[in-house]
């Protein structure tokens, strides 16, 4: 397993560790529910250094990004980011990602899922016919996500950059916690506000940033948070997780990602997705709220009242902020009306649930 710049910190703090995407990662410290509430009410620090980062440079960098992603990156100016996805040849999703515009029409950073780093690199490279300069900086880039309503208040103490007024999906670059060339962005995955901190892992930068973050926030309740609570937080917001809610077989239109699928430009499988839009999708990603007792888990089948299979669960949990079990599922579009009753098959028992609007929180 690979380590992040903070692996020894997690172990020293007594975190429950496990392999995730080839990395030794903290799943929880004090417990998922407690950590979840810390982020919702105060602030928490996630080590997400396992994520992948690619730099694309040169006069044709934007053209390459436009051809491999669904969103319109030409709208980006320096200091702005956008959520997007990489469609495959059949209209499925190679990965979802963030596109950061470092220098307009010249330099971009792509942030991809840890489990897809090699896959994404090879996919994008296969379209690089104009010799765009590409650098995989994943192994030398550290990343902390400081999330929660008090996160920005704490982090502003460590930099002269204005992060208090950082708008959603924008970023700044400068000195943070005494470390130069740090990117601080606001693209959160928890729905609780906060920032992400990207830095080059050299000369003890990671340890310095970690220690300074807890120096300013620790006395006020800032705590380290594991990937377990990150999953419950993102699920309450209805954010997709690659490998669960989206994958190579799911369409961005089915997944409710039509808002990042722009037909004003040419991109991989555009004709397939345009046809889907014109003819209508067959399945739709929806929210589920359990009526009867039970937790919907990934892969559980869903039936209608007549016992006919109509879909399957992609993600589910007992939502700490809501005090009830919720999930996400693909259901036949004609049966995916908000308020409809469906039945999740849990251990061969049909457990009643209701289709609800996302986000849950």
CA 255 from chain centre, in angstroms, equals 14
Distance CA 302, CA 349 (A): 11
- Rg value, the chain, Cα: 21
- Of 188, 187, 211, 208, nearest to 199 (Cα)? 208
Helices (H), 168-241: 205-217, 227-236
Q: List the domain boundaries for the chain.
A: 282-356
Contact 302, 285 (CB under 8 A): no
How far CA 130 is from CA of 102, 118, 237, 239, 267, in Å, comes to: 20, 21, 39, 34, 16
- Of 338, 354, 360, nearest to 304 (Cα)? 354
- Rounded to 5 degrees, φ, ψ at 249 are -105, -10
| Residue at token pair 């950061």 | 100
Specify burial of residue 293 (Cβ count, 10 A radius: 0-12, 13-18, 19+): exposed
Q: Which helix (H) or strand (E) holds 284?
A: strand 283-290
Give the list of residues 6+ apart from residue 64 with CB closer than 8 angstroms, or none.
56, 124, 127, 128, 130, 132
Beta 283-290 vs 107-112: how paired, if at all?
A: unpaired
Q: How many CB atoms lie within 10 A of CB 114?
A: 18
Distance CA 203, CA 118 (A): 27
Q: Euclidean distance between the first and final Cα of the chain, in Å? A: 35
Per-residue model confidence (pLDDT) at position 361: 83
Give the list of residues 6+ apart from residue 289 with CB closer than 8 angstroms, or none.
324, 325, 326, 353, 354, 356, 360
Distance CA 230, CA 243 (A): 15
pTM over 0.85: yes
Query: pLDDT per position in the chain (361 positions), as tens?
Result: 999 999 999 999 999 999 999 999 999 999 999 999 999 999 999 999 999 999 999 999 999 999 999 999 999 999 999 999 999 999 999 999 999 999 999 999 999 999 999 999 999 999 999 999 999 999 999 999 999 999 999 999 999 999 999 999 999 999 999 999 999 999 999 999 999 999 999 999 999 999 999 999 999 999 999 999 999 999 999 999 999 999 999 999 999 999 999 999 999 999 999 999 999 999 999 999 999 999 999 999 999 999 999 999 999 999 999 999 999 999 999 999 999 999 999 999 999 999 999 999 8
In sequence order, the β-bridge partners of residue 81 are 100
Q: Which fold has domain 282-356?
A: Elongation Factor Tu (Ef-tu); domain 3 (2.40.30)
């Amino acid at each position: 397993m690979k380590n992040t710049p903070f692996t020894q910190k997690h172990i020293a703090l007594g975190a429950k560790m496990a392999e995730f995407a080839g990395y030794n990662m903290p799943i929880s410290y004090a417990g998922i529910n407690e950590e979840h509430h810390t982020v919702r009410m105060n602030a928490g620090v996630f080590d997400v250094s396992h994520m992948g980062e690619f730099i694309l440079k040169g006069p044709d960098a934007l053209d390459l990004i436009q051809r491999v992603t669904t969103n319109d990156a030409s709208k980006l100016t320096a200091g702005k980011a956008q959520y997007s996805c990489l469609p495959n040849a059949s209209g499925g999703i190679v990965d979802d990602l963030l596109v950061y515009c470092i220098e307009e029409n010249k330099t971009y950073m792509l942030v991809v899922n840890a489990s897809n780093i090699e896959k994404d690199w090879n996919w994008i490279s296969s379209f690089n016919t104009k010799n765009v300069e590409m650098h995989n900086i994943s192994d030398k880039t550290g990343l902390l996500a400081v999330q929660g309503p008090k996160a920005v208040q704490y982090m502003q103490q460590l930099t002269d950059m204005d992060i208090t007024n950082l708008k959603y999906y924008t970023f700044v670059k400068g000195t943070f916690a005494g470390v130069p060339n740090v990117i601080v962005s606001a693209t959160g995955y928890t729905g609780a506000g906060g920032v992400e901190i990207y830095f080059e892992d050299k000369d003890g930068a990671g340890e310095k940033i970690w220690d300074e973050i807890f120096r300013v926030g620790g006395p006020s309740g800032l705590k380290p948070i594991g990937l377990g609570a990150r999953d419950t937080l993102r699920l309450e917001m209805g954010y997709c997780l690659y490998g669960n809610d989206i994958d190579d077989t799911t369409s961005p239109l089915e997944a409710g990602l039509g808002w990042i699928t722009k037909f004003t430009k040419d991109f991989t499988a555009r004709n397939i997705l345009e046809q889907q839009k014109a003819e209508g999708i067959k399945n739709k990603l929806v929210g589920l709220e359990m009526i009867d007792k039970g937790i919907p888990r990934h892969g559980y089948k869903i039936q209608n009242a007549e016992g006919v299979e109509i879909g399957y669960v992609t993600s589910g949990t007992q939502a700490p902020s809501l005090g009830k079990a919720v999930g996400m599922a693909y259901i036949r579009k004609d049966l995916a009306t908000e308020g409809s009753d469906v039945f999740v098959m849990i251990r061969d028992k049909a457990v009643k649930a209701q289709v609800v609007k996302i986000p849950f929180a």
